[in-house]
Amino acid sequence: MENALPVVVIGAGPQGLAAAAHLRERNVPAVVLEAGSGPAAAVAEWGHVRLFSEWPELIDTAGARLLASTGWSAPTSGYPTGAQWIEKYLEPLAHALADDIRYGSRVIGVSRLGRDRLVDAGRGDQPFTVHVEPADGEEYRLQARAVIDASGTWSVPNPAGADGLPALGERAAADLLSYRIPDFRDREGFEGRHTVVIGSGHSALTAVLALARMARRDPSTTVTWALRRATAGTAFGGGEADELPARGALGIRAKEAVEAGLVDLVTGFRVERVARDEGRPVLIAEDGRTLTADRVVVLTGFRPDLSFLSELRLELDPTLQAPVRIAAEVDPNVHSCGSVAATGAVDLAQPEPDFYLVGAKSYGRAPTFLALTGYEQVRSVVAELAGDHAAARRVELALPDTGVCGGAGLFDASGVSLGGACCTPPVLQIGRTPATV
């Protein structure tokens, strides 16, 4: 009876679609629940950003096999934008999986049938219940034999406040702040104005470089790059040591923009309060310094939404909010993207049997996630759920040395660009043998 139930996959982004492709390949029934109106809704929000990784690093093997049967041909070279990633791979894959995907379906809770998190008796024998809030219609629930949460972190950006909480006044001034990389092709809101960029990751580098180009064309455009850290340190990335050349070049160009005076770099600026001055945002640091701007772009990273998992028994690292077995491996204070080992079903297993966090969400607040890493995760997890334990434990991924990835604001999981990150949030760092935001 339980095996007749589907595996529920939360999220139809790169890892969610890959999980569905692997489940179909193993003849395991699946239901993919996507809150957005189409596939890779988060990627679509940064569709204007170019990825660090080339096409071969952005395509899952099971997804490619499924699409090959439809006559699809994989792009072989070049660095796509998020929009191109959707158009040429993610959307065709979603179309091939259409019978398994429900759009406009936001998951608002996951539990065990008839068991809250306090109940031990018969817990593991009960199916999961997944509560869904559709875009139109009444709330309903599904029963599932297993749940794979590939919902990412894009929906929960970190605040400007230096203590991890919104700065005083930040919520009230939210209309003056942006927490995503703007589409700088629309220059009207930036040329001839003062923009402050907060953050030290590749998303921030992307924004700073785009604004520097505007400042070079129009000297009345001013750019301030505010870092929380006392020195620039690794803010410029790995440079020539980065095996993702486009990403390494990003940091080199940002440093050149600062040295050329196109960008004013302010260090040790830890935002305590956000105020308004005649409709303009004013950032006030803990040490009393102020920055008044026309636009403020907050690119300080992302964090997982764990609210709808409150009735499940999860074992997460208290610092990173990542599964404890992988936390030490993904800690950005210790590892670069390339030195992080591939993680599989054994590493991702939770006290709640058959529940898995995969993709960017499995790294919690760590900014080192790579797309191919996520593809390897779902391959292993699906093999485990299908009973192929040998395949689940086999490692089929080798990561490159990708240089310096640490730093607040880098979420290599959403794909940021040749001037940005790569893999979703966003910087889902889609990596060489790995994804971006």
**How far is Cα 119 from Cα 116, in angstroms, rounded to an integer?**
6
pLDDT at 281 over 50: yes
Instruction: Please tell me what DSSP assigns to residue 407.
Output: S
> Which pLDDT does position 239 carry in this prediction?
56
What average pLDDT score do residues 344-355 get?
96
pLDDT at 212 over 60: yes
Query: What is the per-residue pLDDT across 224-258, written as a single tens digit (0 to 9) for each?
Result: 999 998 887 666 765 555 555 556 677 788 889 99
Sequence-separated (6 or more) residues with CB below 8 Å from residue 102: 31, 32, 33, 34, 132
Query: What is the per-residue pLDDT across 162-204, written as a single tens digit (0 to 9) for each?
Result: 999 999 999 999 999 999 999 988 888 899 999 999 998 888 9
pLDDT at 337 over 70: no
What average pLDDT score do residues 372-396 get?
96
> Which pLDDT does position 125 carry in this prediction?
92
Average pLDDT, the chain: 87
Query: What is the per-residue pLDDT across 108-130, written as a single tens digit (0 to 9) for each?
Result: 999 999 999 999 999 999 999 99
> Which pLDDT does position 427 carry in this prediction?
36
Helices and strands (H, E) in the chain, number of each type: 11, 18
Query: Can you state the percent helix, strand and coil of the chain, rounding each to 5?
Result: 30, 20, 50
pLDDT at 284 over 50: yes
> Which pLDDT does position 380 carry in this prediction?
98
Judge whether 18 and 374 are in contact, CB under 8 Å: yes
> Which pLDDT does position 72 carry in this prediction?
96
3-state secondary structure of 106: strand
More confident: 303 or 54: 303
> Which pLDDT does position 291 carry in this prediction?
98
Judge whether 156 and 303 are in contact, CB under 8 Å: yes
Burial of 138 (0-12, 13-18, 19+ CB in 10 A): exposed
> Which pLDDT does position 242 carry in this prediction?
55
The CA angle 376-302-170, to the nearest 5 degrees, is 170
> Which pLDDT does position 244 carry in this prediction?
55
What average pLDDT score do residues 360-388 get?
93
Per DSSP, the residues of 14-69 read HHHHHHHHHHHHTT--EEEE-SSSSTTHHHHHTTTSBPSS-GGGS--HHHHHHHHT
pLDDT at 3 over 60: yes
pTM of the model: 0.88
pLDDT at 407 over 50: no
Query: What is the per-residue pLDDT across 20-64, written as a single tens digit (0 to 9) for each?
Result: 999 999 999 999 999 999 999 999 999 998 887 789 889 999 999
Judge whether 281 and 177 are in contact, CB under 8 Å: yes
Mind listing the domains of the chain with CATH numbers?
A: 2-155+304-421 (3.50.50.60), 174-298 (3.50.50.60)
